[in-house]
Amino acid sequence: MSVNLLDFDAEGLVAWFAANGEKPFRARQVLRWMHRSGVADFDAMTDIARSLRDKLKAMAVVLPPTVISDRLSDDGTRKFLLDVGGGNAVESVFIPEDERGTLCISTQAGCALDCAFCSTGKQGFNRNLSVSEIVGQLWQANRALGIMHGDERIISNVVMMGMGEPLANFENTVSALRLMLDDHAYGLSRRRVTVSTSGLVPAMDRLRDECPVALAVSLHAPNDSLRDQLVPINQKYPLRELMAACRRYLEKAPRDFVTFEYTMLDGVNDSLAHARELLLLVRDVPCKFNLIPFNPFPGTTFKSSGRDRIRAFSDVLMQAGIVTTTRKTRGDDIDAACGQLAGQVKDRSRRTATFSVHFQDVKL
């Protein structure tokens, strides 16, 4: 079977070339063709000798996941559904803003962590995405945005906030991150690539040591008893340990703060008392807060906090000197908002998915 060269980071590609008797600089040339120029056809790699091109054609492919659908929202948000085989599909979302263009990508088909308010979690877990499937979302978005052969950078930021828990797919996530950072591939700055985690403490330490990038942590509750219910992984890594891991991460992080994500759930975690409790919790962790109005999906009983309640909550944090933003809901006409990414997942875990959402069928 052919090897998919999109599954290698730079080091892996050099090693594969070496194993096949080829020099490191050849690997870097191919890396640039694949990732910087978006070329999948070896014959189009014009500065590679014909003999090497023929050899590559016989042994390898450049195969990103296929785009099944590509939908544009009224606000410019664009959502891609990608086929990852076996009846699974994952989503990525491009969000244009004035100063930057952010691509939100997925790292798993489904998610095993089952947070109470997350559509992906409710679908169950199928499998980890491969490196080519993770980085292939960037490859395909670049192509769709029409920037494959130019130098113009439309995607300036990548956030791993799509489907799945990136740190539960550690190796592939890190290889994909390395490609995003590599000057021969996507050349993004560490500060502009963000991993979002629900709090897998040992993996946060590994990320810090192996590939520190900007970090977002999904907090959603100020105390263990509430967080145990909303984010079940908290039962394994409670808040004390999570806060300590955040502090350790900051020793090597490219930014000097952690972003805490906090989904605003009406009557659940959104009182002023909760906000004040948060201040105590994070007092030793340099941080910013990003409040996310809950995005509903079929079958959920949660509701988003109202605008006034979110403002009052935000004010408590701001008055204590914590920079707090409230996420604008983008792309909700195409179900591309946070936590609504559903794709299509065949649950292979023991837990049976309570339902499975195929986004084309969903009309909220």
Residues marked active site are found at 91, 338
Residue 156 half-sphere exposure toward CB, CA atoms < 13 A: 9
Nearer to ligand SF4, 45 or 214 (CB): 214
Selected range binding ligand SF4 among 65-73, 107-115, 132-140, 327-335, rule: CB under 6 A? 107-115
> Which of ligand SAH, ligand SF4, none interacts with 295 (beta carbon under 5 to 8 A by kind)?
ligand SAH
| Residue 194 makes contact with ligand SF4 by CB under 6 A | no
CA torsion 309-311-314-318 (nearest 10°) is -140
- Contact in structure between 92 and 81 (CB atoms under 8 Å): no
Residue 133 half-sphere exposure toward CB, CA atoms < 13 A: 23
| Strand partners of residue 195 | 160, 215
| Residue 176 makes contact with ligand SF4 by CB under 6 A | no
| Residue 104 makes contact with ligand SF4 by CB under 6 A | no
What is d(CA 41, CA 64) in angstroms, rounded to the nearest whole number? Answer: 12
Q: Looking at 88, 126, 196, 269, which residue binds ligand SAH (CB under 6 A)?
A: 196
- Contact in structure between 286 and 321 (CB atoms under 8 Å): no
Selected range binding ligand SF4 among 88-96, 115-123, 174-182, 241-249, rule: CB under 6 A? 115-123
- Contact in structure between 339 and 295 (CB atoms under 8 Å): yes
| Residue 264 makes contact with ligand SF4 by CB under 6 A | no
| Residue 292 makes contact with ligand SAH by CB under 6 A | yes
Q: Looking at 114, 133, 182, 261, which residue binds ligand SAH (CB under 6 A)?
A: 261
| Strand partners of residue 216 | 196, 259
β-pairing verdict for 193-197 and 157-160: parallel
Q: Is the dihedral of CA 217, 221, 222, 226 positive or negative?
A: negative
What number of chain residues touch ligand SF4 (CB under 6 A)? Answer: 11
| Residue 115 makes contact with ligand SAH by CB under 6 A | yes
| Residue 246 makes contact with ligand SAH by CB under 6 A | no
Residue whose C-beta lies closest to ligand SF4: 121
Structure tokens at 50: 């014909």
| Strand partners of residue 218 | 261
Cβ-based neighbours of 281, under 8 Å, separated by 6 or more: 222, 223, 239, 243
Nearer to ligand SAH, 37 or 329 (CB): 329
Nearer to ligand SF4, 118 or 337 (CB): 118
**Nearest approach, Cβ of residue 268 and ligand SF4 (Å):** 15
β-pairing verdict for 3-4 and 287-293: unpaired
What is d(CA 216, CA 160) in angstroms, rounded to the nearest whole number? Answer: 9
> Which of ligand SF4, ligand SAH, none interacts with 114 (beta carbon under 5 to 8 A by kind)?
ligand SF4
Question: Which positions from 148 through 167 interact with ligand SF4, judged by CB under 6 A?
Answer: 164-165
What number of chain residues touch ligand SAH (CB under 6 A)? Answer: 17
Q: Which residue ranges make up the site for ligand SAH (CB under 6 A)?
A: 115, 117-119, 161, 165, 196-198, 218, 261, 263, 292, 294-295, 338-339
Q: Which residue ranges make up the site for ligand SF4 (CB under 6 A)?
A: 111, 113-115, 118, 120-121, 164-165, 198, 218
